[in-house]
């Protein structure tokens, strides 16, 4: 009986020691995960900064017209270069160098033959060669 009690106390002691060791391992894992999460968060913040730089606004303006075929006359009026859409309701204009893009957008928006103006955005991806 005495041996049985001694074995029980030994098992309880080993169990307590194992639980303490497990909690220490758990705490260490939690610390590691928190540090990697902070690292990943910093990495994501750095990556988001590069993603913003990948989007480049161009000098191209997409325009929805009120009537078909009016793009050529609008381009002549405002001094823009017509790229596409001579006979359609949607046209693409290029703002020439030396002209302000925002001013061209304002002129197009105020023109009676234009319904909507959108500045074209191009995505530049850095691909390894």
DSSP 58-70: EEEEEEEESSTT-
The residue to which tokens 């161009």 are assigned: 58
pLDDT tens per residue across span 52-99 = 556 666 788 889 888 888 888 888 888 888 888 888 889 998 888 888
- 3-class DSSP state of 78: helix
* Distance, CA of 92 to CA of 116 (rounded, Å): 12
* Distance, CA of 38 to CA of 93 (rounded, Å): 46
CATH fourth-level superfamily of 54-123: Peptidase S8 propeptide/proteinase inhibitor I9 (3.30.70.80)
Q: List the single range of 40-44, 46-50, 73-77 with lowest mean pLDDT.
A: 46-50
Nearest to 83 by CA among 67, 74, 91: 91
Element (H, E) at 37: helix 2-54
Report the pLDDT value the prediction gives residue 86, as an integer from 0 to 100: 80
* Distance, CA of 65 to CA of 27 (rounded, Å): 64
Going from N- to C-terminal start, the domains of the chain cover: 54-123
The whole model's pTM is what? 0.51
């Amino acid at each position: 009986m005495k041996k049985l009690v001694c074995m029980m106390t030994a098992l309880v002691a080993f169990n307590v020691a194992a639980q303490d060791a497990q909690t220490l391992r758990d705490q260490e894992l939690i610390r590691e995960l928190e540090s990697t999460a902070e690292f990943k968060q910093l990495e994501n913040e750095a990556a988001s900064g590069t993603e913003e730089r990948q989007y480049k606004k161009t000098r191209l303006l997409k325009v929805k017209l009120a009537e078909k075929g009016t793009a050529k006359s609008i381009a002549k009026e405002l001094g823009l270069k017509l790229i596409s859409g001579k006979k359609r309701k949607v046209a693409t204009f290029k703002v020439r160098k030396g002209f302000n893009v925002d001013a061209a957008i304002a002129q197009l928006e105020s023109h009676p033959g234009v319904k909507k103006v959108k500045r074209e955005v191009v995505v530049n991806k850095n691909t390894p060669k």
